[in-house]
Amino acid sequence: MRSGSGASSTNLGRTLGDAARIVRTASRRTERRVRRTAIAKPLSTGGFLGASIASWISTSPSMLPRTWWMWTVNFGLSQIYGYASGVLWEKVVHRVTGTLGLQVRIAADRRERARWLGAGALLSISAYSWVRGVLRQREISHLVQADAKNLATHVVGTAGGLSASFGALAVVRGVIATAHLYRALLRPYLPPRVVGAVSLVLTAATVTVLAERLLRGRVLEQMIERAEAANRLISPDVPRPDSPLRSGSPESLETWQSLGAPGRKIVSAGPSPEAIARATGEEAIEPIRVYAGKSTSRTLEDTVQAVLAELDRTGAWDREVLVLFTGTGTGWLQEWSLSAIEFLTGGRCATASLQYSVYSSALSYILDRRTPRRAGHQLFDAVRRRLDAMPAASRPRLFVAGESLGSFGGQAAFRDLQEMLTKVDGAVWTGTPSFTPLWRELASRSRSGAPAIAPILDHGRHIRVVTRPRDLELNYFGGLYEPWQSPRVVYAQHPSDPVAWWQPSLMWEEPAWLRQRVGHDVTPAMRWFPWITFWQIAADMPLSISITGGHGHAYHEEMVPIWAAVLGQDGTDPHPRRRRHQAIVKAIRESNPKA
């Protein structure tokens, strides 16, 4: 038994030794391939040309002036796309010319001259396109009333984009080297036809695991942790309201801590009756603000019931106007819209909303697109049922509103535009994403000849798209609408709002709004390019909310005339109306300096 055991041990040792030698041989072979593939191998000629062309295109204008990181994103992703496309086309051309037996050769004595001429042409075109792109950025800054960026911004962004593209190239070559490693290890044991397939599967699995650990394990989890921490933060600059007409007050059924950071800001802000009276010259009462935060201890249905309980407690059903807001991903609401309603109604209103997520709109869109729609639908249905049970003469007028992802979610309460008109007394949707079903219905039913950025439905009898305040009374080209009838619905959409016009199909399809080039605050030099335009507009989105009001995703002063029109307060004499609106705008700015 011992002798047999010793022989087995000897055989095992030899096997392990052979395996170790195979691994060492494969490793040395793979090491040479890694050096040749990832380091020593020159750039592909087709890839370099494709990256150069994509770089020229990436300097073309988009909607908003670029910061250094926006330049980095545009430049880096465009070069990656261009290099990959160039490599692919180079292989296609080689395959076709090889099949046809065609060969193109340059005499040895002329190769050096051809290289220098080619390099000079590429550098000249690159310099020209870059300078032209910088000048276009100044034009965009003027259109959206923003300060022009300095030269260092463009230089740093370009350098960052180059670094990002070379980093991406290194990663791709590292993946190729990994595939070579698996092939070297598997070749002694598997048939040649199987080696390629198995190595491809193993490489894909390796990349997936690493990407999962990096993106989900680090980046995504850190984003989630930061969002949750920001939601819990109780700022000393946001005082707890004393009024029983606010959620989170001592008399409220909702605790101050439970509202979340956006909810606390919402119920803490807003005008007093005295401020409303000073601005309007009329008697005012204190408006009601109701809000319920997201909690892990209750479902979305429970949160909706919490909102109803707060509406009962505050006596909101006795007010003249009740407005249901669907918030953005974090639960944020636009203070300009809230305050405009309160000033215009003399405080005889109640606004209500809930928090369905603590993540940003972008993260909410990626992780869960159903919850915003469920939140908008369930809150509206619950309130509509309560109102329908009340006598028609004593119920408040019901309005709905939302911005950005809140507009996307709030409109989910209705099957189509006609149902919205039959169930509400009015609505204001701002910065509606173009993939929202009701917006797509509006665009598809628009009058022939109307611009894609401002569709015209039924001659504006009930629904009007407003890109600037003058569009409340005239269509985009200055034509007259039919008399405006109740209920009134406004879609406020700035031509320069990337949130409103971004959609995945930009990668492969030119949208009608860009093809028409009619946006008053968008440069007509903007063009569509596959893939590149998609990332250009995506990079514009984070900056869009901090741009000058009236442009980008910043809907500020125009919310006063918009809400006045939807509430039916447009009147006949424009001069007193404008003076009143100007006084309200001034009062909102004074009460909310950061608005």
Calpha distance 192→200 (Å, rounded):
13
Span of 110-119, 227-236, 285-294 with lowest mean pLDDT: 110-119
- Whether pLDDT at 586 is above 80: yes
Amino acid 571 reads G
Whole-number pLDDT of residue 344: 96
Number of Cα atoms under 13 Å in the Cβ half of residue 489: 25
- Residue 3 has what pLDDT? 47
Peptide bond into 561 cis (omega under 30): no
Q: Percentage of the chain surpassing pLDDT 90?
A: 58
Predicted pLDDT of residue 213: 67
β-pair partners for 465: 491
How much is the average pLDDT of 154-177? 84
For residues 219-238, give the mean pLDDT. 80
- Alpha carbon 215 to chain centroid, angstroms: 19
Residues 30-37 have a mean pLDDT of 51
Section 202-211 average pLDDT: 77
**Span 184-209, mean pLDDT?**
79
> Which residues, in sequence order, are bridge partners of residue 397?
321
pTM of the prediction?
Answer: 0.86
Region of residue 327 (left: phi > 0; alpha: psi -120 to 50; beta: else): beta
Mean local confidence (pLDDT), 221-246: 86
The residue with greater pLDDT, 119 or 126, is 126
| pLDDT tier for residue 41 given thresholds of 50, 70 and 90 | low
User: What is the C-alpha separation between 68 and 154, in angstroms, rounded?
Assistant: 6
pLDDT of residue 341: 97
Token duo for residue 119:
């390099």
How far is Cα of residue 85 from the mean position of the Cα atoms in its chain?
26
Q: pLDDT digits over 407-454, tens only? A: 999 999 999 999 999 999 999 999 999 999 999 999 999 999 899 999
pLDDT at 34 > cutoff 60: no
- Among 192-201, 300-309, 399-408, 544-553, which stretch is predicted with the lowest mean pLDDT? 192-201
pLDDT at 122: 83
Q: What is the pLDDT of residues 455-496, one digit of tens each?
A: 999 999 999 999 999 999 999 988 999 999 999 999 999 999
Confidence band, pLDDT 50/70/90 cuts, at residue 61: very high
What mean pLDDT do residues 143-156 have?
90
Pick 293 or 12 by higher pLDDT: 293
- In the chain, the N- to C-terminal Cα span, in Å, equals 87
H or E element at residue 542: helix 532-544
* The pLDDT of residue 28: 56
Residues 346-371 have pLDDT tens digits of 999 999 999 998 888 777 777 778 89
Asked if 429 and 401 count as a contact pair (C-beta separation under 8 A), the reply is yes
> Which pLDDT belongs to residue 5?
47
- Tokens 């040479």 map to which residue? 32
Return the closest-CA partner of residue 307 out of 238, 236, 259.
259
Q: Which long-range contacts (CB under 8 A, 24 or more apart) does 41-49 make?
A: 41/173, 44/83, 44/86, 44/87, 44/90, 45/90, 46/86, 46/87, 46/88, 46/89, 46/90, 46/91, 46/93, 47/82, 47/83, 47/84, 47/86, 47/87, 47/90, 48/83, 48/86, 49/86, 49/122
The DSSP bridge pattern shows strands 321-326 and 397-403 to be parallel
Using alpha carbons only, how large is the chain's radius of gyration in Å?
31
Nearest 5°: the CA angle 297, 303, 308 is 145
Q: Residue 266 in contact with residue 287, Cβ under 8 Å?
A: no
Angle ∠(179,180,184) on CA atoms, nearest 5: 120
Is the CB of residue 428 less than 8 Å from the CB of residue 564?
Answer: no
Closest listed residue to residue 345, CA positions, set 416, 287, 402: 287
Task: Find all residues with CB under 8 Å of 513, minimum gap 6, and list them.
Answer: 451, 452, 453, 495, 501, 519
Q: What angle do CA 318, 323, 326 make, to 5 degrees?
A: 140
pLDDT confidence of residue 276: 95
- Chain segment 169-195, per-residue pLDDT in tens: 887 877 777 777 777 777 787 887 777
Report which residue type is found at 264. R
Task: Tell me how far apart the 2 most distant CA atoms of the chain are, in Å.
Answer: 112
pLDDT at residue 176 in the model: 78
**Once rounded to an integer, what is the mean pLDDT over residues 89-103?**
82
**Rounded percentage of the chain residues whose pLDDT exceeds 70:** 90
Digit-coded pLDDT (tens) for 494-515: 999 999 999 999 999 999 999 9
Confidence category of residue 550, pLDDT binned at 50, 70, 90: very high
DSSP percent split of the chain into helix, strand, coil, nearest 5: 60, 5, 35
| Closest among 594, 144, 566 to 332, alpha carbons compared | 594
Question: According to the model, what pLDDT value does residue 1 have?
Answer: 42
pLDDT at 360: 81
Q: How far is CA 427 from the centre of its chain?
A: 23
Q: What is the pLDDT of residue 223?
A: 75
